[in-house]
C-alpha cells in the first residue's frame, strides 16, 4: 500500500483540513513567534479526539514531519514546519469544572485564559503561566512555572491525568494508576510522547489576589536582588514574587515623563487572605523608593492576563533560560550589568521562584529534573522590526553567557531557543535515560520530534 494522500485524509477527518491555497491557510500556519514563517503541507484543526487519531495515523504512514500545536507559544516555533503536517488543537479548548471534586478537565488546545475563565466562575484556579495566551498543553508538559507555584506546585504537580493519542494511533489514559510510566514522562518531558487531547487538573480555592507592581530606579537593583533572594527563600507561600528589568510602557500609573525609561521592577502577588494583602506589600515598599507602583486586589485571571498586551501574536522573539540553585553575589553582579541594557518594552529578564510547594514533590516523582533549584531564569527579547533581529538576539545571548557560570548546566525546557537542542541532556540530567526508555515504548520511530527532542536511541 502506498503512502496516504491528503485527499484520503480529508475523507477521514471531519475537522477543517487546510492546505496551501485554502482560505485561512496563512492564519492556520502562523505561530506566536513571528520569526518562524513556515509553510506546512497540511494543517488539521482538530475538533475531536477522532480527528487527532486520523491525523497522527496520516503523519506516521506518510512519513511527514509532524508539529503538535496547543497555544502556539513555543519560542523555537515547534508548532509549525515546512512541508509537513500540523495538528492544531486550538479548537479543542473546552474546559469542564467539577467544583465538588475540585478538578477541571480541559482540551489539549485550551489556553490559560480559557482555563481561568472556566475555573474562576467557581472561585478556583491552578498553577498556570504568567500570561493567559499561552497554551496549557506546552506549558504543562514542560513543567509549568507561574504565579501560584510556590503555594501549589508546578502545573504538572496538579495534573491528575491526561488522555493521550500515541504514535500508533491508540488513545491511552495516563495517570498514577494507568500507564504510570507515561504519566511520569508527560510531567516535564514535553511533547515527546504523544498528543494530549485533554488534561485533568487539581484546583485550589483562589479567587482574587493582591498584586503589587513596583518600579524602582536602576540604582536600587542591587538592593532589590539581594533583598529578594533572602526574602523569597522562606517567605509565606501565599507570595509569588520575582524581580525583573523593564522599560516602562505607557501605563497610566507610571509618570508620563518616565515612559520609555528603564527600571528594575518587582512583580509581587499575595494569594492569601485579601485583608492581609496591603501588609504583604510592605517589604517591597520599604526596600527602596518607588518611581511608580500599582497595588491592589484583582481577580486571578486579571493578573494572569496583565502582561498579555506586551506579547501579541506575531511578535518576533528569542529566549534563553537557566535553573539557579544559589543566587550568588557574582550572579547578581552580572544581572546588574546586563539587565539595564534591556532593549525593548517587550524584552525582560524574570527570575521566577520555584521553591515552596515545588520542593515538596519528590525529585523522582516526575520527569522535571531540577526539583532542588530555587529559581528559573528567563531572558527574553521580543520585537517587531526584523532589522534588529541580530541585536536583540545578541542581548539575550550576552546576558545568558554572563549568568551561565553561576547557574545550573540545564534550564527549563520551555524557555529554550531553537539553538538549544544540544542542551536537552543537561535539561533532563538524571532523568534522560529513563525518558529515552519511555520514548522507545511509546514513540520508537520518533514521530513526535518537533520539540525539545528526546531521541529514542
Ligand X SMILES: Cc1cc2nc3c(=O)[nH]c(=O)nc-3n(C[C@H](O)[C@H](O)[C@H](O)COP(=O)(O)OP(=O)(O)OC[C@H]3O[C@@H](n4cnc5c(N)ncnc54)[C@H](O)[C@@H]3O)c2cc1C
* Site for ligand X, rule CB under 6 A: 32, 68-75, 78-79, 89, 108, 129-131, 134-135, 137-139, 141-142, 144-146, 190-191, 195-196, 311, 414, 450-451
**Which CB atom, from 16 or from 146, has the smaller least distance to ligand X?**
146
**Which CB atom, from 146 or from 456, has the smaller least distance to ligand X?**
146
Nearest approach in angstroms of CB 285 to ligand X is 25
**Which CB atom, from 45 or from 290, has the smaller least distance to ligand X?**
45
Nearest approach in angstroms of CB 56 to ligand X is 11
Strand 85-88 to 66-69 pairing: parallel
Nearest approach in angstroms of CB 154 to ligand X is 8
In 408-447, alpha helices (H): 424-428, 432-442
Nearest approach in angstroms of CB 232 to ligand X is 16
Contact between residue 91 and residue 49 where contact means Cβ atoms under 8 Å apart: no
Contact between residue 135 and residue 111 where contact means Cβ atoms under 8 Å apart: yes
Nearest approach in angstroms of CB 288 to ligand X is 26
Q: DSSP letters of 338-351?
A: HGGG--STT-EEEE
d(CA 334, CA 323): 15
**Which CB atom, from 52 or from 288, has the smaller least distance to ligand X?**
52
Nearest approach in angstroms of CB 262 to ligand X is 20
Residue 453 CB burial class (10 angstroms; 0-12, 13-18, ≥19): middle
Q: Is 144 left (phi over 0), alpha (psi -120 to 50) or beta?
A: left
Residues 6+ apart with CB under 8 A from 198: 92, 105, 106, 107, 108, 162, 163
Torsion, Cα 411 417 419 420, to 10 degrees, reads 20
At 173, is the secondary structure helix, strand, or coil?
strand
**Which CB atom, from 119 or from 304, has the smaller least distance to ligand X?**
304
Nearest approach in angstroms of CB 18 to ligand X is 16
Nearest approach in angstroms of CB 311 to ligand X is 4
Task: Indicate if the alpha-carbon torsion angle 286, 291, 295, 300 is positive or negative.
Answer: negative
Which cell is 416 given?
Answer: 529554550
**Which CB atom, from 88 or from 288, has the smaller least distance to ligand X?**
88
Angle between helix 389-403 and 329-338 (nearest 10): 170
Amino acid at each position: 500500500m502506498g503512502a496516504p494522500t491528503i485527499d484520503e485524509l480529508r475523507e477521514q477527518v471531519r475537522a477543517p483540513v487546510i492546505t496551501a491555497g485554502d482560505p485561512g491557510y496563512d492564519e492556520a500556519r502562523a505561530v506566536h513567534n513571528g520569526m518562524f514563517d513556515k509553510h506546512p503541507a497540511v494543517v488539521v484543526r482538530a475538533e475531536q479526539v477522532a480527528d487527532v487519531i486520523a491525523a497522527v495515523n496520516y503523519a506516521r504512514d506518510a512519513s511527514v514531519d509532524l508539529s503538535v500545536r496547543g497555544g502556539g507559544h513555543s519560542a523555537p516555533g515547534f508548532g509549525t514546519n515546512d512541508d509537513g503536517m500540523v495538528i492544531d488543537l486550538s479548537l479543542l479548548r473546552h474546559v469542564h469544572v467539577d467544583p465538588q471534586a475540585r478538578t477541571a478537565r480541559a482540551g489539549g488546545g485550551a489556553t490559560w485564559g480559557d482555563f481561568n475563565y472556566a475555573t474562576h466562575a467557581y472561585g478556583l484556579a491552578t498553577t498556570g503561566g504568567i500570561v493567559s495566551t499561552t497554551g496549557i498543553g506546552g506549558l504543562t508538559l514542560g513543567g509549568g512555572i507561574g504565579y501560584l507555584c510556590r503555594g501549589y506546585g508546578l502545573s504538572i504537580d496538579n495534573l491528575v491525568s491526561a488522555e493521550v493519542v500515541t504514535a500508533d494511533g491508540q488513545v491511552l489514559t495516563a495517570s498514577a494508576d494507568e500507564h504510570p510510566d507515561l504519566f511520569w514522562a508527560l510531567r516535564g518531558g514535553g511533547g515527546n510522547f504523544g498528543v494530549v487531547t485533554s488534561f485533568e487538573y487539581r484546583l485550589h480555592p483562589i479567587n482574587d489576589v493582591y498584586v503589587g507592581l513596583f518600579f524602582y530606579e536602576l540604582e536600587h537593583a542591587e538592593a532589590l536582588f539581594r533583598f529578594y533572594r533572602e526574602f523569597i527563600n522562606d517567605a509565606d507561600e501565599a507570595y509569588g514574587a520575582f524581580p525583573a528589568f523593564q522599560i516602562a510602557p505607557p501605563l497610566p500609573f507610571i509618570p508620563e515623563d518616565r515612559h520609555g525609561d528603564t527600571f528594575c521592577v518587582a512583580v509581587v502577588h499575595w494569594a492569601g487572605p485579601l485583608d492581609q494583602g496591603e501588609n504583604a506589600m510592605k517589604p517591597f515598599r520599604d526596600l527602596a523608593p518607588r518611581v511608580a507602583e500599582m497595588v491592589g486586589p484583582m481577580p486571578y485571571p486579571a493578573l494572569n492576563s496583565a502582561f498579555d498586551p506586551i506579547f501579541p501574536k506575531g511578535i518576533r522573539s528569542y529566549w534563553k533560560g537557566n535553573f539557579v540553585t544559589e543566587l550568588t553575589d557574582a550572579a547578581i553582579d552580572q544581572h546588574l550589568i546586563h539587565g539595564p541594557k534591556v532593549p525593548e518594552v517587550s524584552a525582560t529578564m524574570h527570575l521566577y521562584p520555584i521553591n515552596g510547594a515545588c520542593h515538596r514533590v519528590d525529585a523522582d516523582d516526575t520527569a522535571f529534573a531540577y526539583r532542588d533549584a530555587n529559581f528559573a531564569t528567563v531572558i527574553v527579547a521580543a520585537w517587531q522590526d526584523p532589522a534588529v533581529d541580530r541585536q536583540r538576539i545578541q542581548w539575550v545571548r550576552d546576558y545568558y553567557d554572563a549568568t551561565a557560570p553561576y547557574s545550573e548546566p540545564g534550564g527549563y525546557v520551555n524557555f529554550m531557543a531553537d539553538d538549544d537542542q544540544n542542551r536537552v541532556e543537561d535539561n533532563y540530567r538524571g532523568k534522560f535515560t529513563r525518558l529515552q526508555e519511555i520514548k522507545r515504548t511509546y514513540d520508537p520511530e520518533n514521530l513526535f520530534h518537533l520539540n525539545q527532542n528526546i531521541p529514542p536511541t
